[in-house]
Amino acid sequence: MIVEQDTPDMNGRRQLDIYRNGVIVAVVPVHDSISWKQSRSRPLDEPELYPYAIIEYPLSFAALVRSLYDGLPDGTRHGKIHMEYNGVEKATLRAYRPGIIAYEFSHDVRPLGQPKITLTTPTIGEFDVNDVTFRLVEPLYAAFGHDKSRIPLWDTATRTFVMPD
């Protein structure tokens, strides 16, 4: 899954390619999808990544991969999910979830400081979609200086993401 800055040829479109060799590529533009609800006064090259989208996209992608795995014979259900965030050097990601005071008044918001971040996790057999998503989201939050306890929507008791209605 590739998340990148919008380019004129993307024109805000999303892309999903599935290849016969088992490779699935999803391309998601930052400004249309990942920095939803960003203030219009904020420059486009400084996206504020929206926590729900940061979780929802890999969660949905992992669910798609898991669904495809279910149709494969035993012994062939293995691979990895590889996510890239490109062109996000000036991007920020707040801890916690929108709507609570700790999120709204975060003082520890800082730009990523690198043009690209790559996250990879293995998927083997009947993998747990929530666990795989957490393994992708946790290092992303860490790259922005946040502890895993600040990842929103993660229920530590059930080890699942609880998405809002």
Euclidean distance between CA atoms 94 and 92, whole angstroms: 7
Q: Are 128 and 135 in contact (CB under 8 A)?
A: no
- pLDDT, averaged per 10 consecutive residues of the chain (165 residues), comes to 52 73 77 62 75 90 88 81 85 79 71 87 86 94 91 94 87
Helix (H, G, I), strand (E, B) or coil at 142: helix
Query: What pLDDT sits at residue 18?
Result: 81
